[in-house]
Amino acid sequence: MELRQLRYFVAICEHGTFSKAAGKVFVAQSALSHQLAQLENELGAALFHRSRRGVALTEAGEIFHAHAVSILRQVDDARASVASIGDTPAGKVVLGIPHSASNALALPILTAVRAELPRVELELTEELTGNLTRQLLSGSLHLAILFDDGQLDDFVVEPMVSERMSLIGRADLLGKPTRRSVSFGDALRSPLILPAPPHGVRPIIEMAAARAGLPPANVIADISSISILRTSLLAGMGCTILPTMPLKPEIDGGQLVALPIRPPGVTRMVALCRSRQIPLSAAARSVGSLVQRVAHDLCARGAWADASAL
């Protein structure tokens, strides 16, 4: 197996046809097809379904794609790390952010990297936490911001921020303005819209309820998209349990209200995570340090609502 075969395979995945991929990697289509055939023969499996319209990954191709991307990324990282010895960190860094944390972190991180690490090409990917976990394990991501749901043992975990959660919904559902806060038990009994397991805050809420000896949450809908959740809350379909930051514009505008959950409350720990097995490039290490500094600065300035630095 050769690196060029992996590059050809990934190029075909990205462009959908052999002819377009051949043009992107600057080889004849016949040479690209020959190298792919050798790769498939070595693996003992077809990687693509061929059709007149192009190609689509087989099940084996889907599995192999994650490994190929990871291997190529590590090769590029190694080259960039050596090239930047004694110089400004350079290279591509892929950082994963969950939907419910991007409102707080995405723009400040992009701004800071552009200002302080001009030779770093930062790619931000916004995903469900379960998907981020898988991508970090496979090496598709260099770093990911995850929530401590008791399932982070596979990673090096650097806690950054603790966020307090509230019961959020329309005022007519929450009994505002007569109520100023809510017990965790009452919050769990509310008609709740939560992410589907095992994504987002769902496992954190379930573990907190179990520890408190409370019944399971009254979940009326599983919604793992912040945009769909926002629409559902505004329509009065139910409430949710979340930190306020993902829905801050609607809360500030009075369309939604947030009732703090009374002590001991419910919190989520936001952590910067990386693989235990795959070393970080110099650029990724620099981005990681900058992400932590940005998170702490947002807390110190009060720009990250209901959050405190760890």
What is the reported pLDDT for 148? 86
Q: Is there a single domain that holds both residue 288 and residue 260?
A: no
Q: Residue 126: helix, strand or coil by DSSP?
A: strand
Q: Is there a single domain that holds both residue 157 and residue 276?
A: yes
What is the reported pLDDT for 262? 93
Q: Is there a single domain that holds both residue 158 and residue 170?
A: no
Give the CA dihedral 264, 270, 274, 276, nearest 10 degrees. 0
What is the reported pLDDT for 84? 63
Give residue for tokens 């050798």: 38
31-61 pLDDT per residue, tens: 999 999 999 999 999 999 988 888 899 999 9
Domain that holds residue 184: 166-265
In a domain, 77, yes or no: no
236-260 pLDDT per residue, tens: 999 999 999 999 999 999 999 999 9
Please state the pTM of the whole predicted model: 0.77
Q: Is there a single domain that holds both residue 203 and residue 217?
A: yes
Handedness of CA 197, 202, 207, 213 (dihedral sign): negative
Q: Is there a single domain that holds both residue 44 and residue 99?
A: no
Q: What are phi and psi of 280, to 5 degrees?
A: -85, 145
Q: Is there a single domain that holds both residue 248 and residue 290?
A: no
Residues 6+ apart with CB under 8 A from 279: 77
Q: Which of 14, 43, 71 is the last residue of a domain?
A: 71
| Residues 104, 123: Cα–Cα separation, whole Å | 17
DSSP assignment of 138-207 equals HTS-SEEEEE-SS--TTEEEEEEEEEE-EEEE-HHHHTTTT-S-B-HHHHHHS-EEEPPTTSTTHHHHHH
Residue 25 maps to which CATH number?
Answer: 1.10.10.10
Please state the domain count of the chain. Answer: 3
Percent of the chain with pLDDT over 70: 98
Residues 50 and 41 sit within 8 Å (Cβ to Cβ): no
Q: Is there a single domain that holds both residue 158 and residue 280?
A: yes
What is the reported pLDDT for 77? 73
In a domain, 80, yes or no: no
What is the reported pLDDT for 86? 61
Give residue for tokens 């930047």: 84
Residues 95 and 142 sit within 8 Å (Cβ to Cβ): yes
Residue 194 maps to which CATH number?
Answer: 3.40.190.10
Question: Which residues in the chain come in under a pLDDT of 70?
Answer: 81, 83-87
